[in-house]
């Protein structure tokens, strides 16, 4: 009787074992995206002084560090709408930040969120909010898409679900480098390097140091996630991808179409248990032009899932990789209540920007920037006091150039506009033509501005609705950092 009982238990165990097994899929890697907020290439491995980032530097050393990875929008919701569908936000009508939260707006036919394709391919999906003890913090589980998703876009928000559900596609979203900054102080304000278009002032230096401190806090937390990946026995089967969701949280970064708004870090570490794909050299640096919308088709392809027919992003790793890009494109449309329309194209050396709203000033009112970016107000106050350099004064002009052209090699801060330069005429015309063609071919939905009342309501199409609903970090609830400088500091 006893032996029969044990046989029965053994039989039940054997039947259940394959379903409960935490064993990895020997054919397909797990994929883990670690997504930073509002973050430029400000890590030790990218050459930033006053930042100590041992965990991400080690990840880069074991993997590949990419130097020309650009988001397609310089702000969260359009950028995230793009890289989570592999589509330009301007093509799918997700270009206004934030929009379509209350009107049932659906993605075009044939366009889906990345997790839908992964799930159809047999992957478990997660946007991790809950990390296991002793980790004390939570992921933001941010989605922030400018379209309506019916159902659950992810299967889970718990790290502990991953091990038993391989292969998985999981994200951890970090908030550290999003304002307001709240990391322990490490960077020395006296030693940080300030771009020349910001006043070299104690307020700027302290703000910049706080941003770099947030990068160090981000690195510390990523270290904890990577340790946990290791201790759970997942590291050797998991492709790790670290990147920023849009450019740096500074006045001329986020929301604007310069490198400072669109160029972000990308580090990929390949798992030991899988052969590295074509175009991936561990320990190397990759200077190819890449767009954030290229991640989606590349990840699907690495998982053995064919690139969907309509997806605009290009595969950049493995046997199905496309030829290297000649150009990357970017776009900025309404951000909250502030209407601008910029379109940009970048080749390895030059950036061209077309401004369709040149009558509006760079410092056009924006409540979010005014409240949370102290340099925004510093610029205004030093402008009034006549204490800005010409590069800084340019940000306070009453209008913006209709066209801008920068030679990034000679002018990495993009402060010498060559649009009127006779010797750069051919470059200007080439890039202008490429951009106009892209606007037509990609069916840019931003050619029509929204009705003014939608802008006044920050994207809500129905009065009394909140366009930020579904977004976890309530920026507007944060304490303002309104700056009133004592006169002697000016």
Nearer to Ca ion, 305 or 473 (CB): 473
Shortest distance, CB of residue 98 to Ca ion, whole angstroms? 12
Give the up-direction half-sphere exposure of residue 351: CA atoms within 13 A in the CB hemisphere.
31
Residue nearest to Ca ion (CB): 76
Nearer to Ca ion, 245 or 259 (CB): 245
| Part of the chain binding Ca ion (CB under 5 A), chosen from 113-121, 243-251, 308-316, 365-373 | 243-251
Is residue 207 a contact partner of residue 69, using CB atoms and an 8 Å limit?
no
The CA angle 464-470-475, to the nearest 5 degrees, is: 80
Shortest distance, CB of residue 470 to Ca ion, whole angstroms? 15
Q: 371 in helix, strand or coil?
A: helix
Place of tokens 């379903």: 19
Shortest distance, CB of residue 79 to Ca ion, whole angstroms? 7
Nearer to Ca ion, 63 or 244 (CB): 244
**Distance between CA atoms of residues 406 and 410, nearest Å:** 9
Calculated CA dihedral for residues 139, 252, 290, 63, nearest 10 degrees: -50
The CA angle 483-489-490, to the nearest 5 degrees, is: 85
Shortest distance, CB of residue 244 to Ca ion, whole angstroms? 8
Nearer to Ca ion, 146 or 166 (CB): 146
Counting contacts by CB under 5 A, is residue 245 touching Ca ion? yes
Nearer to Ca ion, 207 or 245 (CB): 245
Calculated CA dihedral for residues 371, 373, 376, 379, nearest 10 degrees: 130
Nearer to Ca ion, 201 or 371 (CB): 371
Contact pattern from residue 272 through residue 311 relative to Ca ion, giving x for each residue in contact according to CB under 5 A and a dash for the rest: ----------------------------------------
Shortest distance, CB of residue 38 to Ca ion, whole angstroms? 4
Contact pattern from residue 70 through residue 109 relative to Ca ion, giving x for each residue in contact according to CB under 5 A and a dash for the rest: ------x---------------------------------
Among 28, 29, 34, 38, binds Ca ion (CB under 5 A): 38
Taking the CA atoms of the chain, what radius of gyration do you get in angstroms? 23
The CA angle 299-301-348, to the nearest 5 degrees, is: 65
User: Binding-site residue total for Ca ion (CB under 5 A)?
Assistant: 5
Q: Name which of residues 163 to 222 contact Ca ion (CB under 5 A).
A: none
| Residue 454 region by backbone torsions, left for phi larger than 0, else alpha for psi between -120 and 50, else beta | alpha
- The helix or strand, by DSSP H or E, that contains position 261, with its residue range, turns out to be helix 259-262
**Distance between CA atoms of residues 359 and 357, nearest Å:** 6
Counting contacts by CB under 5 A, is residue 37 touching Ca ion? yes
Shortest distance, CB of residue 129 to Ca ion, whole angstroms? 17
Structure tokens at 10: 């053994």
Structure tokens at 414: 């993009």
Nearer to Ca ion, 30 or 177 (CB): 177
Interface with Ca ion (CB under 5 A)? 37-38, 76, 245-246
């Amino acid at each position: 009787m006893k032996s029969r009982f044990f046989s029965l238990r053994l039989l039940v165990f054997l039947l259940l074992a394959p379903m409960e097994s935490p064993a990895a899929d020997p054919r397909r890697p797990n994929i883990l995206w670690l997504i930073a907020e509002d973050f430029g290439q400000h890590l030790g491995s990218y050459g930033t002084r006053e930042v100590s980032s041992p965990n991400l530097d080690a990840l880069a050393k074991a993997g590949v560090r990419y130097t020309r990875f650009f988001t397609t929008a310089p702000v969260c919701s359009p950028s995230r709408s793009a890289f989570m569908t592999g589509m330009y936000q301007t093509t799918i009508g997700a270009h206004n930040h934030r929009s379509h939260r209350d009107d049932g707006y659906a993605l075009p036919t044939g366009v889906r969120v990345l997790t839908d394709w992964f799930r159809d391919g047999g992957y478990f999906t997660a946007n991790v909010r809950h990390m296991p003890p002793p980790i004390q913090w939570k992921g933001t589980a941010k989605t922030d898409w400018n379209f309506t998703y019916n159902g659950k876009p992810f299967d889970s928000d718990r790290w502990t679900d991953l091990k038993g559900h391989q292969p998985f596609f999981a994200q951890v979203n970090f908030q550290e480098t999003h304002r307001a900054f709240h990391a322990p102080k490490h960077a020395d304000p006296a030693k940080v390097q300030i771009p020349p278009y910001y006043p070299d002032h104690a307020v700027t230096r302290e703000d910049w140091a706080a941003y770099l401190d947030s990068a160090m806090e981000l690195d510390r937390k990523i270290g904890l996630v990577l340790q946990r990946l290791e201790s759970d026995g997942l590291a050797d089967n998991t492709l790790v991808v670290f990147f920023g969701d849009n450019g740096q949280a500074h006045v001329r970064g986020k929301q604007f179409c310069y490198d400072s708004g669109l160029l972000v870090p990308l580090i990929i570490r390949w798992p030991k248990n899988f052969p590295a794909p074509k175009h991936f050299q561990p320990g190397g640096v990759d200077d190819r032009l890449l767009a954030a919308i290229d991640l989606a088709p590349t990840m699907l392809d690495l998982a053995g899932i064919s690139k969907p027919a309509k997806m605009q992003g290009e595969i950049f790793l493995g046997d199905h990789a496309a030829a290297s890009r000649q150009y990357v494109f970017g776009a900025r449309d309404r951000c909250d209540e502030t209407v601008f329309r910029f379109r940009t194209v970048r080749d390895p050396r030059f950036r061209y920007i077309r401004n369709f709203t040149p009558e509006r000033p760079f410092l056009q009112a924006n409540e979010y920037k005014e409240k949370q970016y102290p340099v925004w107000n510093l610029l205004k106050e030093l402008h009034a006091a006549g204490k800005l350099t010409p590069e800084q004064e340019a940000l306070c002009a009453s209008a913006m150039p209709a066209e801008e052209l920068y030679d990034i090699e000679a002018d990495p801060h993009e402060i010498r506009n060559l649009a009127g330069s006779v010797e750069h005429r051919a470059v200007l015309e080439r890039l202008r033509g490429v951009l106009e063609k892209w606007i037509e071919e990609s069916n840019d939905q931003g050619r029509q501005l929204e009705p003014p009342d939608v802008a006044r309501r920050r994207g809500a199409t129905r009065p009394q609705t909140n366009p930020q609903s579904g977004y976890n970090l309530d920026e507007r609830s944060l304490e303002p950092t309104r700056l009133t400088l004592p006169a002697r500091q000016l």
